[in-house]
Amino acid sequence: MAPFDFSADKYVSPNSPVSWFARCFPSLVFFTSFLGVVYSAATLAKRGKYDGQAWARSSWDVFRALERAGVRFEISGIQNLVQLQSPCVLIGNHMSTMETVVLPGIVRPNRDVTFVVKTSLLSVPVFKHVIRSRDPIVVGRTDPRMDLKSMIEGGIQRLENGVSVIIFPQGERTPVFDPKEFNSIGVKLAVRAKVPVLPVALKTDAWGIGKIVSDFGRIDPTRTVRISFGKPLDVQGRGAEEQKAIVEFIGEKLKSWQDPDKLANT
- Ranges of each domain in the chain: 10-259
| pLDDT single digits (tens) 17-54 | 999 999 999 999 999 999 999 999 999 999 999 999 99
Q: What is the mean pLDDT of residues 199-212?
A: 92
For residue 159, pLDDT beyond 80: yes
For residue 150, pLDDT beyond 90: no
| pLDDT single digits (tens) 224-233 | 999 999 999 9
DSSP string, 38-68: HHHHHHHHHTT---HHHHHHHHHHHHHHHHH
Architecture of domain 10-259: 3-Layer(aba) Sandwich (3.40)
The pLDDT of residue 119: 83
In the structure, what pLDDT confidence band is assigned to residue 263 with cuts at 50, 70 and 90?
A: very low
Which whole-number Å values give the CA distances from 190 to 29, 45, 90, 237, 249, in the listed order? Answer: 40, 30, 10, 11, 18
CA dihedral 56, 221, 10, 245 (to 10 degrees): -90
Amino acid at 110: N
The pLDDT of residue 211: 81
For residue 266, pLDDT beyond 60: no
The pLDDT of residue 200: 98
Q: Are 72 and 13 in contact, with CB atoms under 8 Å apart?
A: yes
Q: What is the mean pLDDT of residues 230-252?
A: 95
The pLDDT of residue 260: 55
Which is more confidently placed, 139 or 189? 189
Q: Are 132 and 48 in contact, with CB atoms under 8 Å apart?
A: no
Q: Which of 119, 114, 70, 115 is nearest to 94 (CA)?
A: 115
Q: What is the mean pLDDT of residues 84-105?
A: 95
The pLDDT of residue 180: 87
The dihedral built from the CA positions of residue 247, 249, 252 and 255, taken in this order, carries a sign that is negative
For residue 1, pLDDT beyond 70: no
For residue 212, pLDDT beyond 80: no
- How many percent of the chain have pLDDT more than 70? 95
In the structure, what pLDDT confidence band is assigned to residue 214 with cuts at 50, 70 and 90?
A: confident
In the structure, what pLDDT confidence band is assigned to residue 259 with cuts at 50, 70 and 90?
A: low
For residue 261, pLDDT beyond 60: no
For residue 241, pLDDT beyond 80: yes
For residue 121, pLDDT beyond 90: no
Average pLDDT, the chain: 91
The dihedral built from the CA positions of residue 3, 102, 112 and 93, taken in this order, carries a sign that is positive
* Separation of alpha carbons 136 and 120, rounded Å: 13
The dihedral built from the CA positions of residue 232, 233, 234 and 238, taken in this order, carries a sign that is negative
Q: Which of 265, 207, 262 is nearest to 34 (CA)?
A: 207
For residue 262, pLDDT beyond 70: no
DSSP string, 193-231: HT--EEEEEEE-TTBPPPSSSTTSPPB-TTS-EEEEE--
